[in-house]
Structure 1
């Protein structure tokens, strides 16, 4: 079961990294006429990678359990194509400028900050999981 958690945390880091690239692309194109800001919804991608608990034969031992494992085939070379299928134009709730560019720099910077915080949290959790595993291995009694 713990290996499934490592896979989920690893995929989370991959998706957050891809999301950061999408946000960075928006910022880089802030002055490009006609550019439509893109978005990658982290929650939507992760829901597609982690099946619902209904499809799992495992039983949750705690309410904190994730209740699933990565969907088969999610860690393939075509993953970038898979992720690309989740990248969409942002919903524009304002009237775009005359040049048609829909990038809102303040929103992008806010998204970039929250994404970085998520990335640090997941990386920290993964690091603690590895430290616990390392401790168990190095301090095991023969």
Structure 2
């Protein structure tokens, strides 16, 4: 009997993968805060998660899972063309880290529940 972990873990596996990718993008923004002309990027998490969920529901093998990177519109553009705003990026990074931990907690709870069901 085959067991499908993707179905057992539900949306949380896709959410965790996307949160990890968003962490990479936000860290890149923070690292380039003083790079002239650097354009801050971000991921539309909700749209990317909906796309990943829809692809997994139809078992779409062609889905590469790469989220679409969007440019962040700055509140106060810098004279050198850099669009990274340190406070905005730090807040987004912190919120994303918290959401990552939440998804990780849900996956841990699911796996503990599955282990309990197997043990009987």
Give structure 2 stretches of 5+ with no counterpart. none
Partner of 1:73: 60
> Are the equivalent residues in 1 in contact too, given 2:74–2:85 (CA < 8 A)?
no
1:34 partner SS: coil
RMSD across aligned positions (CA): 2.3
Which runs of at least 4 in structure 1 moved beyond 6 Å after TM superposition? none
Judged with a 3 Å threshold, the aligned counterparts in structure 2 of structure 1 residues 98 and 44 are, in CA distance, closer, same or farther, namely: same
| 1:91 is the counterpart of 2:76 | no
Unmatched tracts of structure 1, length 5 or more:
52-67
Q: How many residues align?
A: 117
Shift in CA distance, 20/113, structure 1 to aligned 2, threshold 3 Å: same
Question: Which structure's residues are more often helix, by fraction?
Answer: 2
CA, structure 1 residues 120+33, in 2 after alignment: closer, same or farther (shift >3 Å)? same
CA contact (8 A) 1:8 1:70 kept: no
Pair 1:6 & 2:21 matched: no
Report if aligned partners of 1:37, 1:102 keep a CA contact under 8 Å in 2.
yes
Rg: which structure is higher?
1
Which residue pairs with 1:130 in the alignment?
A: 111
